[in-house]
Amino acid sequence: MSVRVQNLTKTFGTQKAVDGISFSVEKGEILGFLGPNGAGKSTTMKIATCYLSPTKGEVKIADLDVVENAIEVRKKVGYLPEHNPLYLEMYVHEYLRFIGGLHKMKGTQLNDRVSEMIDLCGITEEQNKKIGALSKGYRQRVGLAQSLVHDPEVLILDEPTTGLDPNQIVEIRNLIKEVSKEKTVIFSTHIMQEVQALCDRAVIINHGEIVADSKVTDLKGSNDFDLIKLEFKHSINTAPLDALKGIQEIFTTVEGIYELKTDAGSDLRSEILALAAKYDWPLVGIQQVEGSLEEVFKELTQKEVKE
Amino acid sequence: MIQLFLKEVNSFLDSLIAYIVIAVFLTGMGLLMWVFPDTNVLDYGYADMNTLFSLGPYVFMFLIPAITMRMLAEEQKSGTMELLLTRPLTDLQVILAKYFAGFFLVVFSILPTLIYYYSIHQLGNPVGNLDSAGIMGSYIGLILLGGVFTSIGIFTSSLSENQVVSFIVAVFLCFIVFSGFDSISGIGVWGDKALQIAQLGILYHYDAMSRGLIDSRDVIYFVGVTALMILLTKLKMESRKW
C-alpha cells in the first residue's frame, strides 16, 4: 500500500504553498515529513487526505487518485489533523464509535474494534469521560485512536506529538511504532529526535520544495562540517582558535561557550587541548558533535530559496 | 450519513438547544394563541388556528437560525470539519445530515401544536366545526417553510466561522425570502410584474397552501428554494478546494 506524490503543486491565491514536490512511500515504511513552520507540510497532508485538491500534479494512494477516487481513498487513510480537532462534548467511546460508524462499521465489529483501540492507546480508564475533560496527552491518544479505528492501510499524522510532555512523547512514539508494522505511515514534525527515533526515511521540505529525501542515517552523514562545543569558565580571546587549520567558523551564544564549525572528519580536540594548555584557558568542557540531524535541518532550511 | 445525523440530534439533546427551542416555541405560540388579548382564539371567537400559522413563521425566523447557526460554523472553527471531510463522506452528505437534523427538530417542535387543533376542535360550536383541510394545508406549509428556513440557516452557517454573523444573516435572509418580496411587490412601481415578484417570496405560496389547496407549484417552490440553498452551501464548502 503505497503513497505516491507526483509534481504536487498547490497555490493559495498567488502564494505557492507547495511547489512541484514528488516522493513516494512504500508499505511498512515510516516517513518523517520535516520542514520549518509554513513549509507546506500540512498542505501536502491535507491534499493526501482529500481535504484539499491539488492545483497541479497528483497524489495516489494505493494507485487511487485523491481527486477521482476521493471516497475510496478516505476509506484507506487514517488521518490525525494538526491541533487534533475533537468533539469535546462527546464521551471517548462514543466518539470512537461515531468515527467508526462514519466508516460504515457496525455492531460487534465496531464494538470490538473500539475496545481494541481503547486498549492499544491506553485510554481504558478515560473511556467514560468526556473528551473535554481529558488532558492534552490523552486527547492526543484519542485522536490517534480515532485515526486507527477503521484499520487504515495508510496513516497520516500531522504533528502528532506537539505540546506533549517528554513522557507522553515517548509513549505516543512507541504507539506509532507499534501500529506502523503493517501500515504506511507519514508523519510531520519539527522535532528531530523524533525522526531519529522513529523513521526510516525523511523528506525535508522548505518553502514548498523538497530539499532532502533520503534515509535518516544518510542524512546525518551529509553534513560537510562537524561541530565542537567548548566551555570555558569565562570568555577568552579566540584568535589562536581561529588560526587553527580546519576551523570554518566560531560562534558564541553564552559567555564562555563556543561552538566551532570544523571540516568534516577532522578531529581537532587534541589540538584545542594543547592550545588551552599553552594559553592557560580555564577549559571545563569539550565535546565533538557529529553532524546531527538538527544541523542538517538548519543547514538545509535556512538557505535562501534559489531564484 | 445516518451516524452524523444521529450525532447532530444527540448533540441537540445533550446541549439543551433542543429543549430550549421547543420550550420557547411552544410557550410563545401558547401565549399568542390562548392568552395575549390581541391574538387569542377565545376572544376572537372563531374556531380557526390562524394565529399559529400567521405568527409561527415569525417565531421560526428567529428560532431556526438559532438552531442552525452553529452547525457548520462551529465545525469550521474547531477544525472538526477537516475530520469529517476526510472520512468517507461527500460534502453533500455532511450538509444533508446537518440539514435533516435541524429539520427534524423543527418538525418535532411543531408536532405538539396538534393539541391546539384538538382543543379548537372541541371548542367549536358545534364541536368539530373548523376548516380541517385548511389547517392541514397550513401545517404542510409551515413544515415546508421550516425546511426553507433551515436550509437558509445552514447556508449562512457555512459563510462564516462566527456564529453571530451567521445568525444575523440568516434572520435577515429568512425575513426577505418570507415577506420581503411580498412587500417589495406592493411598492407600486412594478406594474403588471408585481405578481411575479410576490411569487418569489414564501408568503405568496404559504398563503396559497393555508387555503387547503396543495398545489404542486407551491410544493415545488418550497423544495426548490431548499435545494438551492443546499446547493449554495455545497458550493461554499467546495470553495476550499479552489
Which chain A residue's Cα is nearest to B94? Answer: A102
What's the pLDDT at A263? 78
Which chain B residue's Cα is nearest to A53? Answer: B241
User: Whole-number mean pLDDT of chain B?
Assistant: 90
Q: Indicate whether B139 pLDDT > 50.
A: yes
The residue of A10, A14, A51 whose CB has the most chain B CBs within 10 angstroms, and thus the best one to mutate to test that interface, is A51
Percent of chain B with pLDDT over 90: 52
Does any CB of chain A come closer than 8 Å to the CB of residue B240? Answer: yes
Does any CB of chain A come closer than 8 Å to the CB of residue B88? Answer: yes
What's the pLDDT at A29? 87
Which DSSP string corresponds to A176-197? HHHHGGGSEEEEEES-HHHHHH
Q: Indicate whether A307 pLDDT > 50.
A: no
Is the CB of residue A154 less than 8 Å from the CB of residue A1?
yes
With a CB cutoff of 8 Å and minimum separation 6, the contacts of A169 are: A161, A191, A194
Which chain A residue's Cα is nearest to B240? Answer: A52
Distance CA A117, CA A119 (A): 5
What's the pLDDT at A291? 61
Does any CB of chain A come closer than 8 Å to the CB of residue B92? Answer: no
Does any CB of chain A come closer than 8 Å to the CB of residue B13? Answer: no
A89 vs B3, B11, B240: nearest CB: B11
Is the CB of residue A89 less than 8 Å from the CB of residue B15?
yes
| Residue B228: all three cell numbers together | 438551492
Over range A129-147, report the average pLDDT. Answer: 90
Instruction: Tell me the pLDDT tens digit for each residue of A228-283.
Output: 888 888 888 878 877 777 788 888 878 888 888 887 777 788 888 888 888 888 88
Q: Indicate whether B102 pLDDT > 70.
A: yes
Over range B216-240, report the average pLDDT. Answer: 93
Instruction: Tell the residue number behind the cell numbers 507526483, with chain if given.
Output: A6
- Using a CB-CB cut-off of 8 Å, the residues of chain B touching A66 are none
Residue B46 burial (CB count, 10 A)? 10
Which chain B residue's Cα is nearest to A97? Answer: B3
Over range B78-84, report the average pLDDT. Answer: 91
Instruction: Tell me the pLDDT tens digit for each residue of A80-106.
Output: 998 899 999 899 989 999 999 999 998
With a CB cutoff of 8 Å and minimum separation 6, the contacts of B142 are: B52, B53, B56, B57, B110, B206
Over range B125-133, report the average pLDDT. Answer: 82
Over range B173-195, report the average pLDDT. Answer: 88
The residue of B82, B240, B242 whose CB has the most chain A CBs within 10 angstroms, and thus the best one to mutate to test that interface, is B82
Would you place residue A306 in the very low, low, confident or very high pLDDT band (cuts 50, 70, 90)?
A: very low
